[in-house]
Structure formats: C-alpha cells, structure tokens
Structure 1
Amino acid sequence: MPVHATMEERVFAEGDGKGTARMERLGAEESGTEQARRTDGSGPKQAAAAPAGSEAADAAEAPEAPVKPEAVVAAEEMDKPEALGRLEAAEAPEAMSTPAATDISEAPEALRQPEAAETAPAVRIAVRALAEYACRSGSIETGFRSLTSLTEGTRIHKAVQAEYGEGSEREVFLRMELALGGVEWTVEGRCDGLLAAEGGPVIDEIKSTSGRLEDLGGEGHRVHWMQARGYAYIYAMQQGLERMDVQLTYVQADSGAVFRIRRSFGLNELREGMFWMLEQYAPFARMLRRHRLERNASLERLEFPFQGFRPGQRKLSAAVYKTLEDKGGLFAKAPTGIGKTMSVLWPAVRALGTGAASRLFYLTARTTTRTAAEDAVRRMEEQGLKLHAVTLTAKEKICLQETVSCRKEDCPFADGYYDRINGAVLDLMEHETLMTREVIERYALKHRVCPFEFSLEAAYASDAVICDYNYIYDPKVSLKRFLAEQAKGTALLVDEAHNLPDRARSMYSAELDKAPFLALQRAYKGLSAGLSAAAKGVNAAFIALRKEAEAGAAAGEGGLRPAGPGAYVSEAPPQQLLESVHAFIAQAEPHLAAGGDEGGAETAALLLEAYWAAKAFAAAGEWMDERFVAMAELARGGVKARIMCLDPSRLLQQTGKAYGGRVFFSATLSPLPFYMDQLGAMEEDRSLTLPSPFGREQLEVRLVPLSTRYADRGATLKPLARLLLEAVREKGGNWLAFFPSYAYMNALYEQLLLELNPGSAAALPDGAEAGEAGADSVKASGTNPAEGSSEQEEASGGKNPSGQEEASGDKGSVLHAEGEAADAREPAEEALFPARAGSGGKERGLRLRLQRPDMDEEARDRFLAAYQPPEPGGDALLGMAVMGGIFSEGVDLAGERLEGVAVIGVGLPQLGPERDLLAAYEKKQGRSGFDYAYVYPGISKVLQAGGRLIRSESDTGVLLLVDDRYMQPRYQRLLPEEWRREGEA
C-alpha cells in the first residue's frame, strides 16, 4: 500500500464496500456486548490494580471538566485543577488492593434514594476531581496564574518524595466502590505519599505554588484537605483503621521553602467528608447518565436527515466513520455544495453511539462555518437526536458587560461565579441540547455567571464542541490541558482545513519588543533590584541583537543576514536574548504572584503583558529547529525579535497524535499532497478526493485573459470595470466579485463610479483625471516590484516574471485576509445607481455593496441580507469582497440569491520577507518554493471564492475567472475539472 494511500485504495477498492456497508448497518447490527454496554451502563468487570505511575493509574487523576474553586486559589499552579469527572463504563485501572467496601447507613438521605438497577449510573471519578467540584466557591480571580507547574510541579513532587523515610510509599493508587444514591460509584486516585510514622500511616498531599506561603494563613486550602481526606477514607476502609493522620505539604516553587500541616481525623469524620462530596456531585452524575441513555437511544434511530444522499455524500460519510473507528486520519477534498458539514457530522455523531468516539470537536476558522455546524446539529435534532453540543465564542464577543473586565469588583458575573456555576451547568444541561451563543447568554443572565467561562464548563461535559482551531492547536489556550486524558476518545473534525497551516504558523511563532523591557527596567529600579536587573538584561540582549544585525549586514556575514528593509534573519536561535528572557521570567513570576503592583496599576499591567510575551517567546525558542527562523526587525530607536514558524506540520502532527481520530476536510485542499504535508499527515493516514456532484451545464465558466498584475492594473481597470458591468447587465440578478486586496477592490469601485456616472469627478482624488484614479489608488500604498528576483525566475521559468508582480502588487498596503487596514480613501459601504431615464426599461438599475475591513457581525449580516431573489426586471446587485475573507467561505447563497461570481486575479499572497523565507525553506526541502509559498495558497482562495456559486442540483450561474494566467497549463491543472477549458487535463 502506498504512503498516504487514497481512501479509494484503502477502503473503496473495487469489490470492497465495507465502509459504506458499515454506515448502512450502524445501530442495527451491533454485538450483544456493545448493546448491553449502552443500555445498562455496565462494562467489563472492574479489575484491580495497575502499578503507580502506569498509564492506567495516570488516567485516574484526569477526568473531564475544569474546576477553578476559590481553593485552587491563587492558583492553577497548585497542580492544575481537574475536571468535573467522567461517566463511563471503561475498565478501571488495577488497585493496589481489594477495593474498599463502605457502610452507607451514615449517608445523607439524598444519597440513599433507590434507583432501578438497570438505570443506575456507573460513575468513575478521581478523588481530586470530586473534591474540586464539591468545594467550588468564590469569584473569578484575574490575578496572576503561573503555568510552570506542569513540569516544575512534577520536579518538586519528586524532590519531596525523595526525602521520604524508610517504609514510606510514593504515588499510592487507591480505589473504592460503593452503591450510593442510585449511583454505582468508583472513586479512585493516587495519593502523593503514604508515610510510615510511629502513630500509624499518614496520607501526604504535595502542592506547589509560585505564591507566598504566608498567604496560606497557616491553614491550607479546603479543597486540598478534602482531596487528602478522600484518600485517607479509602485507605482507612481498606485497612480497617479507625483514625488516620493527613498532611498537606506546600512547596514554594522558586525558593523551595516547605510548609507542612498535619491533622488527625476519625473514620466517621472521613466518611462524612466523602459522603458530602458525593452528595454534591450526585445530581450532576445522574443528569449525565440520563442524557447518555437518551442520546444512545436516539442514535440508534437516527437516519441521514435528508431524503437521500447527494453524489459523494455517502462515500464521504463512510470514510469519516471508518477513520474514527480506526482512530486514524483522513484528508478529504470535497467540492463546495456537496453538503460536507452534514456528510462529516452525521457519521461522527453516529460514532458516539457505537463507541468509535466518545466526544467530538468540530473545529472552524470562522463564525460562518460554526453556524453551518450548528444548523447541521439542529437538523439532526429535528430527526430526534439528543446531543449535548456547545459552541464556544470568544470572550470579547460573548461578554455581557460593555467593557471586558474580569475583576469581581467590575463584573457581577465574575463576583461569586463559583458559588453559582454548578447549579448553572446542571440547569443548562438538563434543559438544553444545542447550546449556541444565544442559549449560553440566556442561562448566563439567569444564573449571573460569566458566559465565556460558563461555556467552557459546559464544553467539558458535552458530547460535541463547536469552536475555533485554537482551542485544540494553540499551545497558549488553556482548554487543551484539560483534555489530555480524554483525547484518545476525542475525534477532531477540522472544517475548511486549508486555513489551518497559516493559523498554525501564527500559533507557534512569537514576537518580542524591546520597548517594554526598557520601561520596566526604569520603573522597577527603586522598587525591585532583581526585576529591574532582569529587564535590563533583556534590554541589553536586544541592543546586542541590533549590533549583530548591523554588523552582519555591513560585513555580509554573521548569524543574521538581510531579509528585507530593516529585517534580518538567522536559522540559529537568539541565544543571548532567550537566556535573558528566561532570567526575566524567573524574576517576574514570584513578583506577579505576590501582587506586583508597587509601581501602580499601569506598571503592573505592563509587567504582566511583558511576562506573557516573554513566556510565548521562550516557548517558541524551545520548539525552534530547522523548521523555524529567528528574525530581528530594526526601526528608528526600536528593535523587535521574532521566532517564526515556517513549517508547522510536525507540531500539528504531534498534537493530532493524541486524539482518537482526525478528519481534515475542505473544498480547497488542492493540491492535496501539498496540504497533507502542511497539516502533518502520517504515513497511515488516508485521503479522499470527490468529484463535483453538479453537471457542467449548471456552470458557465468564462476565462478572461485580462492582466491583473501589479504593473498592468492601472491600464486594465477600465476594461475590467466595463467587463463586470456588461456581465451584470446581461445576466441581471445578484453578483459577487472577489479581489486580492482592499486597495485593488477600492480602485475598481472608483472606476465603476466613473463608468456609471460619466463626467463626474466626485469619486476622484483631487487633481486626478478620469481613467487615472484606479491606477493611483492601487499604487498609493505600494511600490513597484523589484526586478530580477529569484522568485520571479522561479515563477516564470526565467521568461516572464508574472507571478512575482502579482505577489508584490499590494506590498505595504493590504493583505488578502479580512481585518487588515483598507485604502485611505474608504468608499461607501453601499451605492445605488437607478436605471437611466430613456432606456425604455432595457437597462437595469445597479446596487453596489462593498466589504469593509472593520465589519462587525451586524454589518456582515446586512451585506448578506441584500442577496435575496431578485424581482423580475429589478435592480441588479454587485457585491465586492476580498478573497480569503468572511464572504468567500461558509456563505451559502443558493438558488436565485446568486447569479454570478467574478474572481479577479489568481490570489497570490502579499510579497514580504516571511513569504520569501517560506519559499526558500520549501525549496531547500526539494519542493517548488514559489508554488508552496504563493501559488497554492492563492489558488485555494480562488477555489473558495468560486465555490460560492453552485450550491445545489438546481443552481445555475456564471463564473468569471479574470487573469491571463488562468490560460496557462500550471493554473489549468490546479482548477477543478468543470472550470477548465475543454481538452485541458
């Protein structure tokens, strides 16, 4: 079997219909074991005992949902908070001895409620998770949280354990089983130490913190006591002890100072503590169990939610299910309009019922594609599906306050948040299934809890999560650390996956500016000698970096070499800067943990911002290998350092390996080998390419050989404007025209105004002649491309540097992605040109609408709302947007809502040092550098834009591809078959 074999080769070889057949019998032909596991919650008999430190034992301490109780206090750094717990019938790790029995006669009445044996929930939960759920109280705190404890905490634990005396044990795994309150409980975990002492064994629980030990007040935190008491109760029941000592050992991470507190508890007191924690958690456990039974029953009945499959949908669905069943990877290129969202979500949801997956993450890059996923879930709910699915929305968007401030003094939704959150989550999940932004906001208002944190809480207990890529792939986003134990059963469904490589480059890159460290050096000079000196060290490293860059440029040698105006690059890490950054972090952490506000609020905010920037830069330094470069950017009086990721494939692959299945899908994974390389495909991963389900007769493709290169744009603006007007007037209806940049789009808009209103100079800049405005507006913020570069030769074979001119056309002005600065002379969002008097009804009026770079959701909705089926003889509509922007992906304008699409140019990204470095890197790997850095990302935007047109079997339309390069074989090969000229292969 070839490496990266296609799905057809692996699953759908002639005569092998196993993948499709499996989808046809889902829910109907399952084994008795699987059926029993879903209906009564039972699983394999709980085994007894894995050695401490084993994978099974490790898993016991990492259940599902996050908790940030007041007692986790100043910090998550005290061994990260765990999850709400998990409800499953998985085989438990082996215990060190026979599970403890327990006497339930002392249990609270709420825990002694009878429940039918066939519906009794089976709950396996870690002691730590149980304590953290039960003890949650207080407010959201915005104080400093160190992220060093995952590695540093492990080191500290081992150091303390190394000092244990003879007869003491480390990492002792404990487990008990009991039926209580209608729940079959398995409570388990590993205590850090079981100490041998004269008065009997002592449970030791170690907690590391970057805060001050004095802040503990000599008492320790309630959640830590309850966790340690939980271990003590299990051990006491196993050993028949009437009393046990419990010790909390707190270690200050930076100084190594140790503070110990020891207390003695009787068995009844330990039992009361355990029963109280179970009583708090029991309603949540029962809710999860009820939902699980309802969900699985609904999945057995769930059919494909449309009358039939479109061509290719069944094949894609079967491939997705097979991939999740095998815990593998799939790269699927499926044309727009095929119904990719449902084709992927439906089999993935079915996989939840068969055990092929335990949770789904539907990852997107844009709000529009998130909405499509919600709509698909809603459609399945109409068929009877019961699924807990939550959409995560960025904090800045979902915040209920006018200004985002998470201080309890400023926000009533943060004040007392943990006192109310358990009830809020329970209420939400008992009454809702599809938890969209609107639903989250409604319940957040009802319970007075922060909607962003609330949505995260719901996510940990949901079956499916719809969210941005960064919740899984960005190392700076905290959600991921709670998923480590669950990842093996979690399936990743990555929508519009062509966006992920560039997003990942951003995630794994980091930038650091000299200016804040100079300011901190001065601000803390009289306040903290150590912190001021550390900031001075970073400042000095920046000065040395500047000198190295200037010396290397002057001498033509050295570690740094010129890579563009004011930019210098090296494959070697900036060692001096990284060392000084680590020293700064070491000084800043204890200072921030102690408050860090001696210099006032503004200085404290500057310190915190510099700290996080330093942490990100240090992390990028740790990842740096041949796939990264270091850059220095010099400006008058300033220096910036960057560690830039050129190839994120290895890091994406490492992240993906942890998960139980990965499906990357898009209409524009073209060429597919390019995207498989970029996304970190593994040898055993599969690929699937589906043809368009629509006929050639539905789409009229017009290739227009009009140059849109930078050097030609001024001369071709007028014919381009007339071309668009003629097409719109000929066909009427609604049109979308896509451009490579805002500057080019605005220039064409001005030319359209001239064509529509001859003789008017209203839209022209002062002093401009008609016909010159477009060229001026394109060139206003750019410069002519350099001649004779190696990239030009590569793009053109040394004959015609066409590709490079396009790539550099918007240099210094506007990038293709939305959100960038637009041309200075911003046009109106909408303009109306009625039919001219005397046309005898032969001429339509025309409305123009423009995408703006600063569009909020209301403005975006307003833009799309204009695309309604036109009235007979009514005005035509021409919308103008940028390729790769919000209107080129995830927008479904089916039927008469869209008559035609024009794609102007071949979409090449903006020329710059970063793209040139990427091209050089790919060339060094033996690939076509210019294609990888410029052509392939550009054609992806073209395909996405053109894909807005034909969305169903009944759609028809006109596609204009405007650029003479579309006639070239290299571009023809990259176009879908139905877009090519007849006879092209």
Structure 2
Amino acid sequence: MEKSQVKISIRNLVELVLRSGDIDSRLVSSTSMQEGTRIHQKIQREGGPNYSKEVSLTFDYEIQGFTIKLEGRADGIITEPEGIVIDEIKSTSRPLEYIDEEFSLLHWAQAKCYAFIYAVQNQMEKIHVQLTYFQVDTEERLNIRKQFELQELRAFMEELMDRYLVWAKMQDEWNTLRDISVRALKFPFENYRKGQRELAVAVYKTIMQEKKLFVQAPTGIGKTVSTLFPSVKAVGEQHISKIFYLTAKTITRQVAEEAFSKMREKGLSFRTITLTAKDKICFNREGSCNPDLCEYAKGHYNRVNDALTDILCATEYFSRDAIEEYALKHNVCPFEFALDLSLWADCIICDYNYVFDPRVYLKRFFMNNGGDYAFLIDEAHNLVDRAREMFSAQISKTAFLEAKKIIKNKQPGIAKQLNKINSYMVALRKQCKEEGFLISKCELKDLYGLLNNFIREAEEWILKNQSRNIEGFEQILEVYFNAISFIKIAELYDERYVTFIDTYLSEVRVKLFCIDPSYLLAAAVKRGKTSVLFSATLTPLDYFMDILGGDKEDYNISLSSPFDNRKLCLLVEDRISTKYKNREGSYGKLADIIRTAADKKQGNYMVYFPSYKYMNEVYTRFTEKYPYIETMLQQSAMTEEEREGFLSRLVPNTDKLFVCFCVLGGIFSEGIDLKGDRLIGAIIVGVGLPQVSAEQNIIMDYFQRKNGRGFENAYMFPGMNKVLQAAGRVIRSESDTGMVLLIDERFSHKEYNCLFPRHWAHNRRVRSSPDLERRLEEFWEGNTHY
C-alpha cells in the first residue's frame, strides 16, 4: 500500500510543534529581519573554504504509514578535524551575556533537525551543532556548540514527529478529500464564454511547463475563474501545492472569493484565505504587538494551535469574518493567526506586497526560492507602479529634525546621530541649487553610514522604553523603521535606480527610485514555480512583458472581446484639445458636449477627467448651465463608506438622467463592476497622460536610452491604459449596451489610435454636435450602423 505523503519545512515544523509564549515583535526581530541576509553572508564569507553555506537538506521521514517530506536549508556546514558542525546563525539585539544554552528551544530544535538529516544521510554516529549569535549593535559573536549522538538526535526526532503526526493526519485527510473533489469538478458555469476555454487551456499548459504567461483578455471574458479553475485542477493533480491569487484592490479579491464560491457549489472542497492588512484586522487599537499592552499577544502561542484546529475542522473558507470570529473565541492575534492559517490554505488571496515587497513578503513561504506555487497576478497593469513603489524608499529631513527635538533631552547620543543626518541633508539641499532637485546615478554611501549609526544607537533606547508611555516615542519609532526600510532598499540599488533629491522650502527628500522594476519582479516570481499575469489592458503587450520582468521564453496570449461590438457605441470627438495649455478654453465646450452625449437616453453616465482641477472647472459650468440634470462629483481621499455610497446611487432601471464626474485613473475608473444598466455611458476627456513631473521625466530619460521609447513608456502607455480601463466600465456582460465617447484631438493621431484594442475597430469620428446627436439617437434606437 502506498504511503501518504505530507510536505513541511523544518522551520514551520519546529514552530508549529514547539512554540509557546507571547508575540513580542516590538523590536527584537526588526533589525534581525532587515539585517539578517547581510549578517548571514558576513559570517558565511568569513568561514573560509571549510564552510559550506546554505546547504539544502531534504528527508523522507517514515511514521505510521506516512511519509513526511522534511525540507530545509542549513546556514552552514563546517568541516573540521574533529568532525562535522551544523551551524545555525541568529542575529539578536540582546546583549550576549543574556544568551546561554537555554535561550531558545526553537533555535536548537531547528539545528538538531538539520543535524539528524545530515548524520543519517552520511552514516555518522555523532555530529556537532553550533548556534552562532551575532549581536547587531556590537557585531560581537557568541558560539554555543554541543555534540550529539545520532541515537540522541533520533530520539528527539521521534518525539517531534510523534507530536506532529496529528497535524500530518489532518492535512492528509484534507488533501485526499480535496483531490477527490478536484478530479470531479466541472467548469462552474454551464457554458464557456468566447475565449474562456482558450484562456483556461493556456493557463493549465503554462503551469504544466512551469512557465510564465502574459494574458490580455478584455473585460467580460471571465479572467478570474478562467485562471483559477485550471490552477485548482493543477493542485488536485499535485503539479503545484498552493495558489497565490494576487491583486491590487479589495474588490478584485472579492471576485476571486466569488469564483471559489461558484466552484464550491459544484462540489469543490478547497481551503482559501483572504489576507487582510495588519492595521485593518488588529483588535488592539494601539496597534502594538506588545504583550504588556495587548491581551491577544500575551500567551498567543500557547493558544493558537487550538484555534487552528478549531477553524480547520469547522470551515474551508477563511474569510476575514471567520478569522476574527475564531481569533476572538481563542483570544489570539487575528493577523498572526491568519498568517499561520495561510500555511494550511490551498489558495491565498492577497495583495501584491505579500509576494513582491522586499520588506514584507511572506518569509514563511519564500525564505528559500523555488516553492511549488502558482502566482495568479490579477490587474497586472497595476503592478508597474506598485512595483516601483515597493522597490523604492524615501526619507525626509523634517522627520529627522523633529525626532532630534523630541529626543535631545532624553538621549543625547541619539540626538547627535539625528543631527548629523539633518546636517547632511542640509548640504544636499545646497547642492540642488535653483533647480530644486538633483538626480544622481551614484549612491549616497555616507548617508547610509549615518543612518546605520542612528539605527544602532536608537535600538537599545527603543528596546528599553517601548513598555513605557514616553511622549514622542511613536515618532522616534517611525523614523527608526523608515531608516531601516531605506537601508533595506539600498541593498537592491543598481543601474536601474537613481538617487532623487527633491527640495521644497526647508524640506529635503531623498528617494532611492526604482525606475525599472523588471529585474526585481523577474527575481520575485522565481519564489514560485509558475506565474500568470493578466489584465484587460496590457496594451501594448511587448511593453508590459518587458517592464513586468518577462523575456523571450515566456508565453503570451491576447484574446478578443466575447461581446457583440454592436452593443457598444464608440465615438471619437477629436475637435477639442485637452492639452494642459488649452484646457481653459475647453470648459464650456465640454459641458455642452457632455449634455449632448447624455441627453439622448435616460440613465447613469460617468465622465472622466485627467485631473481634479479640470473636473471641478467643467463641473461648475455644467451645473450652472444644466441645473435640471442630477450630478455627483468625486471627492479626493474618499473613505470606504463614501465610495460605497457613491456607487450605491448608480441604481439600475432609473428613469432619470444622472451624470457622475470622476477622475481618470481614480477609484471609479477601474475595478468596479456596474453590470446591466447601472452604467450606460462613459465620456473620457483626454488621453490620460500622467502629470509632467521630475519622476516621470526620469522614467522617460531612462527608457529613451534603453529602447528609444521614453515618452511612450513614461506617459503614453500608462495614459492610454487609464483610458482603456475607464471605457471598460460600460460593457460588463453579454446583455449590456452602452456608449463610450472619447474627447481629445490626439485620439485620431496614429500613435494613439494604434493602441486601440481590436474590439474598438468600429469606432466612429464625430464631425459636429448635430452629428453626435444623430449617431447616438440611431444607436439607442437600435440602428447598429449609427
């Protein structure tokens, strides 16, 4: 009889079985996480030729009819005359005199697992284990070494695996149930839409071949279910162990949840979790993982395994509500509980940053690259700007100056370091001269040194005072973490970065600006086995493949719209210039055109503008001239409730004219699904170019040198992407009918017109206001030739 197999990393095994006590992430782990790679590399480099670093170890442990596949990576294996030494490196902020053999059961356990595997595989009867503690402030080291007999290690492993067996059985039972349901699963809709089967097949083949696929699939094809369904099949067939469904917006996470709901209705058993940001799900309003201040952090690890068992037996859909319910029931931290629960999920639905952001990605999955995961990256056009943001870092002079004022009477040593940083940035301001900014391809190594000195000086004070209610403590902590983040990003700095120094009055900002995120994105997706990047608007596809880390070996597919294009009236009004210098003269004309376009059929319309100022100017004239038309205006920085309230007014089957004024590229121009006649028209003013700025010009200059398409990369392609996204709000299903009016002379220029998707080939140019009225009348009356 074939044995059941369960796979687990040694680190996760040890933490699951042996952990206890409090969550206390106040600070101790922050530096070790940020500096961990550097410290490991330093110690490994100094180990000499007898030091083998990052040694991968795997072992099939047989127990009671199970094969438990253990995987891990030893920091170092040292060959000495006395024998082999397994080295486990740990960085710490604690003074080394407080660390002894009893300091951490988990550290010893992890190293002993490596030692057992190595000893068994190399027929050794005894082996040494060494814990190397590196004190991050003093850079002193403490080596604690013990020799273990193989028999002793075997007894330790037997006890550890006996305790893990209950979890292994639970996982195996689930895997069997899940795989049976996956094999029986049919596509969750009665029929495939046009393009859906083609997309699903392409995704499945990509997973089988462990490749990367770029997909442009127009709105309405059903991209979410068409990528999830074949991925679920691949999990059931053991080609991958887990799906990561990555999104930029909450609403697209909900679409993924709905797709799983549909598949569950067809009999699927599949564990899914949606991760919520810590600041949104935290029960402690102080937001501090301090056991002295948070009852959920205190003793969390003593209770969390009971919480896991409870929820795993109760449900397979780990929604935010379910996570909060069971976290309250068992008095555990909901955020850490969710992260633990993600290890048991078959699909993790989460924000991009959990996979890509070098500061916060999920270390429990990605510490060792190459997990057998599939990354499904939704709305992939958003990943360009998000990646630049994730791989960049910025600090400001004012923050350090204010921190110095707070700390000068409390800790002069820290104030001294802050003053040096402030002085350095004052000198940078002088270098910017009259231009107000400075762009350099060189790194500010002196600034890095000053920041590292501040980090080391501040850490001890923060550790000692984090339990006390000291005025200004949070500001110091924020500056401290910003400095760490800046240094972390500095480790990635290469020819794809520039140092951007920007001044305004007395303020100085220094930004490590990632212009081209392609290399880092390509490296990040290697944390999994395969990835699918999809969007309705990856135009032009070669641009997005390049900027998102694609290469010649990757697959791509561009699908046609599944909808009858006769149901979309697409008109181009190219007699108006919306260029910045011409906007003032266009306000009144636009008000009249909007009224003409919306006046031919009662219903809900959205008008999109390139900026709030432009929108407000036209809105003022429109409401003065046409007060009888009901309108609504998008506000900047709207809350979640205000957004929902805005959308709730777009009711179906309305018998009145309702015109909403919105911003192109904003919260109402993509990611919202207004099916039926909740939205029957979109009027798009301008070609969506990003506002001219020093940063956009940096991007333009870089790509002009790289591929001769600087303006296109920095302005035209991102702008037209916003236009396509806004237009895509109108037709959401086979039964939808609507109009899109594009207003700008540039829409008739070849370089913009060639970016129109294939299903826009039937667009018509408007020659006059009467012509616009006639075409719309004919369309709404059912004349498909309008």
Q: TM tier, shorter chain?
A: 0.7 to 0.9
Shift of 1:670: 0.8
In the alignment, which of 145, 148, 162 is matched to residue 35 of structure 2? 148
Shift of 1:942: 0.6
Distance of aligned partners of 1:547 and 1:279 in 2 relative to their CA distance in 1, 3 Å threshold: same
The residue aligned with 1:680 is 549
Aligned-pair RMSD on alpha carbons? Answer: 3.5
In the alignment, which of 730, 739, 759 is matched to residue 609 of structure 2? 739
Shift of 1:897: 2.2
3-state DSSP of counterpart to 2:288: coil
In the alignment, which of 644, 656, 672 is matched to residue 513 of structure 2? 644
Shift of 1:375: 1.0
Shift of 1:413: 2.4
Shift of 1:249: 4.9
Once residues 169 and 750 of structure 1 are traced to their aligned partners in structure 2, the CA distance between those partners, rounded to angstroms, is: 67
Once residues 238 and 704 of structure 1 are traced to their aligned partners in structure 2, the CA distance between those partners, rounded to angstroms, is: 74
Structure 2 residue 540 is the aligned partner of structure 1 residue 653: no
Structure 2 residue 479 is the aligned partner of structure 1 residue 610: yes
3-state DSSP of counterpart to 2:600: helix
Would the aligned equivalents of 1:136 and 1:418 in 2 still touch at CA under 8 Å? yes
Distance of aligned partners of 1:570 and 1:322 in 2 relative to their CA distance in 1, 3 Å threshold: same
Shift of 1:982: 5.8
Structure 2 residue 62 is the aligned partner of structure 1 residue 178: yes
Shift of 1:666: 0.9
The residue aligned with 1:696 is 565
Once residues 9 and 536 of structure 2 are traced to their aligned partners in structure 1, the CA distance between those partners, rounded to angstroms, is: 43
3-state DSSP of counterpart to 2:264: helix
Structure 2 residue 647 is the aligned partner of structure 1 residue 864: yes
Moved more, 961-970 or 668-677: 961-970
Distance of aligned partners of 1:583 and 1:169 in 2 relative to their CA distance in 1, 3 Å threshold: closer
Distance of aligned partners of 1:368 and 1:717 in 2 relative to their CA distance in 1, 3 Å threshold: same
Shift of 1:217: 6.4
CA offset digits 1:673-700 (Å, max 9, x no partner): 2212211211211221112222231111
Moved more, 667-676 or 892-901: 892-901
CA offset digits 1:341-365 (Å, max 9, x no partner): 1121111222222333222111111
Shift of 1:267: 9.0
**For the pair shown, which has the larger CA radius of gyration, 1 or 2?**
1
The residue aligned with 1:350 is 233
Shift of 1:482: 3.4
Distance of aligned partners of 1:628 and 1:313 in 2 relative to their CA distance in 1, 3 Å threshold: same
1:552-563 superposed matches below 5 A: 562=435
Would the aligned equivalents of 1:498 and 1:675 in 2 still touch at CA under 8 Å? yes
Once residues 131 and 458 of structure 2 are traced to their aligned partners in structure 1, the CA distance between those partners, rounded to angstroms, is: 27
Structure 2 residue 331 is the aligned partner of structure 1 residue 461: no
Moved more, 255-264 or 858-867: 255-264
Shift of 1:403: 4.8
Distance of aligned partners of 1:175 and 1:879 in 2 relative to their CA distance in 1, 3 Å threshold: same
Moved more, 274-283 or 728-737: 274-283
Structure 2 residue 781 is the aligned partner of structure 1 residue 898: no
Give the counterpart letter for 2:562 in structure 1.
P
Would the aligned equivalents of 2:458 and 2:480 in 1 still touch at CA under 8 Å? yes
Would the aligned equivalents of 1:881 and 1:887 in 2 still touch at CA under 8 Å? yes
Would the aligned equivalents of 2:359 and 2:488 in 1 still touch at CA under 8 Å? no
Would the aligned equivalents of 1:939 and 1:974 in 2 still touch at CA under 8 Å? yes
Structure 2 residue 558 is the aligned partner of structure 1 residue 671: no
Distance of aligned partners of 1:946 and 1:543 in 2 relative to their CA distance in 1, 3 Å threshold: same
Give the counterpart letter for 2:61 in structure 1.
E
1:297-312 superposed matches below 5 A: 297-312=180-195
Give the counterpart letter for 1:733 in structure 2.
G
Would the aligned equivalents of 1:372 and 1:890 in 2 still touch at CA under 8 Å? no
Structure 2 residue 267 is the aligned partner of structure 1 residue 384: yes
TM-score (ref. length: structure 2): 0.87
The residue aligned with 2:777 is none
Would the aligned equivalents of 1:287 and 1:426 in 2 still touch at CA under 8 Å? no
Would the aligned equivalents of 1:498 and 1:666 in 2 still touch at CA under 8 Å? yes
1:106-185 superposed matches below 5 A: 121-144=4-27, 145-146=30-31, 147-156=34-43, 159=46, 177-180=61-64, 183-185=66-68
The residue aligned with 2:335 is 452
1:562-577 superposed matches below 5 A: 562=435, 566-577=436-447
The residue aligned with 1:756 is 626
* Aligned pairs, number: 759
Give the counterpart letter for 1:736 in structure 2.
M
CA offset digits 1:375-431 (Å, max 9, x no partner): 111111111111111111112222234453333333332222212222222322333
Would the aligned equivalents of 1:473 and 1:652 in 2 still touch at CA under 8 Å? yes
Shift of 1:638: 3.0
Structure 2 residue 224 is the aligned partner of structure 1 residue 341: yes
Give the counterpart letter for 1:150 in structure 2.
T
Shift of 1:606: 3.7
3-state DSSP of counterpart to 1:731: coil
Shift of 1:240: 11
Distance of aligned partners of 1:686 and 1:276 in 2 relative to their CA distance in 1, 3 Å threshold: same
Distance of aligned partners of 1:440 and 1:244 in 2 relative to their CA distance in 1, 3 Å threshold: same
Once residues 623 and 417 of structure 2 are traced to their aligned partners in structure 1, the CA distance between those partners, rounded to angstroms, is: 59
Give the counterpart letter for 2:601 in structure 1.
K
Give the counterpart letter for 1:713 in structure 2.
R
Once residues 437 and 56 of structure 2 are traced to their aligned partners in structure 1, the CA distance between those partners, rounded to angstroms, is: 55
3-state DSSP of counterpart to 2:731: coil
Once residues 174 and 474 of structure 1 are traced to their aligned partners in structure 2, the CA distance between those partners, rounded to angstroms, is: 28
3-state DSSP of counterpart to 1:255: coil
CA offset digits 1:187-241 (Å, max 9, x no partner): 576596689899x998775544232123336632222344455567778989999
Structure 2 residue 305 is the aligned partner of structure 1 residue 422: yes
In the alignment, which of 879, 888, 904 is matched to residue 669 of structure 2? 888
3-state DSSP of counterpart to 1:931: helix
1:826-975 superposed matches below 5 A: 846-871=629-654, 874-975=655-756
Shift of 1:433: 2.0
Once residues 528 and 71 of structure 2 are traced to their aligned partners in structure 1, the CA distance between those partners, rounded to angstroms, is: 24
Distance of aligned partners of 1:207 and 1:971 in 2 relative to their CA distance in 1, 3 Å threshold: closer
3-state DSSP of counterpart to 2:599: helix
The residue aligned with 1:433 is 316
Once residues 116 and 525 of structure 2 are traced to their aligned partners in structure 1, the CA distance between those partners, rounded to angstroms, is: 39
Once residues 560 and 742 of structure 2 are traced to their aligned partners in structure 1, the CA distance between those partners, rounded to angstroms, is: 20
1:457-536 superposed matches below 5 A: 457-480=340-363, 482-485=365-368, 487-519=370-402, 531-536=414-419
Shift of 1:526: 7.2
Distance of aligned partners of 1:204 and 1:978 in 2 relative to their CA distance in 1, 3 Å threshold: closer
Would the aligned equivalents of 1:653 and 1:682 in 2 still touch at CA under 8 Å? no
Would the aligned equivalents of 2:499 and 2:510 in 1 still touch at CA under 8 Å? yes
Moved more, 491-500 or 519-528: 519-528
Once residues 263 and 311 of structure 2 are traced to their aligned partners in structure 1, the CA distance between those partners, rounded to angstroms, is: 20
3-state DSSP of counterpart to 1:390: strand
Would the aligned equivalents of 1:334 and 1:689 in 2 still touch at CA under 8 Å? yes
Shift of 1:260: 5.5
CA offset digits 1:250-301 (Å, max 9, x no partner): 4434435444557788999866654443343222222211121112111211
Once residues 680 and 237 of structure 1 are traced to their aligned partners in structure 2, the CA distance between those partners, rounded to angstroms, is: 42
Shift of 1:727: 3.2
Distance of aligned partners of 1:675 and 1:251 in 2 relative to their CA distance in 1, 3 Å threshold: closer
Once residues 130 and 672 of structure 1 are traced to their aligned partners in structure 2, the CA distance between those partners, rounded to angstroms, is: 43
Gaps spanning 5+ residues in structure 1: where?
1-116, 554-561, 758-832, 834-845
CA offset digits 1:89-132 (Å, max 9, x no partner): xxxxxxxxxxxxxxxxxxxxxxxxxxxx66x6423445544322
Would the aligned equivalents of 1:870 and 1:897 in 2 still touch at CA under 8 Å? yes
Shift of 1:543: 2.9
Once residues 264 and 890 of structure 1 are traced to their aligned partners in structure 2, the CA distance between those partners, rounded to angstroms, is: 59
Once residues 229 and 121 of structure 2 are traced to their aligned partners in structure 1, the CA distance between those partners, rounded to angstroms, is: 47
TM-score (ref. length: structure 1): 0.71
1:969-984 superposed matches below 5 A: 969-980=750-761
Distance of aligned partners of 1:212 and 1:493 in 2 relative to their CA distance in 1, 3 Å threshold: same
Once residues 267 and 355 of structure 1 are traced to their aligned partners in structure 2, the CA distance between those partners, rounded to angstroms, is: 34
